[in-house]
């Protein structure tokens, strides 16, 4: 019996083109009415993710920053793992040397050094404010994560991931979209947040359904008793999943829930 669903947001329950579909909203409402805990697990910053939770009528804790921060709806911190300051400073130096745009997150606030098209695209419709300043003006402490972005060249982002993983094998470095390279604490993984809540509530792994669409969801999918990849997911994620559902545009989340939670036949298309 599934007692908890841990779901990614973007590309899983939220479509860039259409937002949250009526079927997704109704499905989440039905789950909560049936006592199933629905947990949002996202790379987004907490201040953005919590607004999504409110929009969907959820009162459960939110896992943000790839698993680096878990807070309840009363803003109490349940779990937090920051990027060590020495590594954050080295990543900032690396980005400057290579003319790479990075988002710097400190105490759940977003900082950038240039007000450009990248940050405007990133923050669009996501309940996010940001501050433009030199990072030299900031105290580089309590860093939630760093996000390196190139909106035009996915292969370049892949090369960053490979370069940084080789240089910093002790950190968690992963692509969260084809154009985003995430850098965080080794304990800031989506699975870490899920496992923390399972321990808190006494929920077993086999009672959890996890679902996502990108490579940063691989450990999330593996953390569930039933791990589901979206039809629009990456090949790497699909290879790790127990089940591949439909795409976000075709309400793949809803179809997976109907199959594994409500035991309804899957309707294709």
One domain, residues 215 and 255: yes
- The pLDDT assigned to 267 comes to 63
- Burial of residue 225 (CB within 10 Å: 0-12, 13-18, 19+) is middle
267 assigned to some structural domain: no
Q: What is the CATH number of the domain that holds 102?
A: 3.30.1240.10
With respect to residue 218, please indicate whether it lies within any of the assigned structural domains: yes
The pLDDT value given to residue 269: 53
- Bridge-based pairing of strands 62-64 and 37-40 is unpaired
User: What pLDDT is recorded for position 127?
Assistant: 79
Q: Report pLDDT digits (tens) over 101-148.
A: 999 999 999 999 999 999 999 998 777 899 999 999 999 999 999 999
* Across 192-213, average pLDDT: 98
Q: Domain end: 140, 167, 184, which one?
A: 184
113 and 165 share one domain? yes
> Is there a domain that residue 195 lies in?
yes
Do 108 and 178 reside in the same domain of the chain? Answer: yes
Q: Give the pLDDT confidence of 182-196 residue by residue, as tens digits.
A: 999 999 999 999 999
Task: Tell me, yes or no, whether 131 and 115 share the same domain.
Answer: yes
Per the structure, how many domains does the chain have?
A: 2
**Are residue 12 and residue 136 in the same domain, yes or no?**
no
Judged against a pLDDT cut of 80, whether residue 177 lies above it is answered with: yes
- What's the domain range around 76? 4-80+188-260
pLDDT in tens, 15-71: 989 999 999 999 999 999 999 999 999 999 999 999 999 999 999 999 999 999 999
CB atoms under 10 Å from CB of 38, counted, come to 21
Could you tell me which of 216, 151, 152, 205 has the C-alpha nearest to residue 183? Answer: 216
Assess if residue 269 is contained within a domain: no
At 148-174, the pLDDT tens digits run: 999 999 999 999 999 999 999 999 999
**CATH classification at residue 239:** 3.40.50.1000
Full DSSP string of 63-110: EEGGGTEEE-TT--EEEE-PBPHHHHHHHHHHHHHTT-EEEEEETTEE
Domain finish residue from 125, 155, 184: 184
Residues 228/211, Cβ–Cβ less than 8 Å? yes
């Amino acid at each position: 019996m599934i007692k908890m669903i841990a779901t990614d947001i973007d590309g899983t329950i939220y479509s860039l083109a259409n937002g949250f579909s009526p079927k997704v909203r109704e499905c989440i409402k039905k789950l909560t009415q049936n006592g199933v805990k629905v947990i949002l697990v996202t790379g987004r910053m907490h201040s953005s993710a919590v607004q999504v939770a409110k929009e969907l009528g959820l009162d459960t804790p939110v896992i943000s920053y790839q698993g680096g921060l878990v807070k309840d709806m009363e803003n109490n911190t349940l779990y937090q793992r920051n990027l060590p300051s020495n590594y954050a400073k080295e990543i900032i130096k690396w980005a400057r040397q290579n003319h790479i745009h990075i988002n710097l997150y400190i105490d759940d606030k977003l900082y950038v050094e240039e007000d450009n098209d990248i940050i405007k695209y990133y923050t669009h419709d996501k309940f996010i404010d940001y501050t433009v300043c030199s990072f030299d003006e900031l105290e580089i402490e309590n860093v939630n994560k760093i996000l390196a972005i190139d909106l035009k060249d996915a292969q370049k982002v892949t090369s960053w991931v490979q370069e940084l993983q080789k240089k910093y094998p002790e950190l968690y470095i992963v692509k969260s979209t084809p154009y985003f390279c995430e850098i965080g604490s080794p304990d800031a993984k989506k699975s870490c947040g899920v496992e923390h809540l399972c321990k808190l509530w006494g929920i077993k792994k086999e009672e959890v359904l996890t679902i996502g669409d990108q490579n940063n969801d691989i450990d999330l999918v593996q953390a569930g008793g039933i791990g589901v990849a979206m039809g629009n997911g990456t090949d790497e994620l699909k290879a790790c999943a127990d089940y591949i559902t439909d795409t976000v545009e075709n309400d793949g989340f809803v179809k997976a829930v109907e199959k594994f939670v409500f035991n309804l036949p899957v309707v294709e298309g």
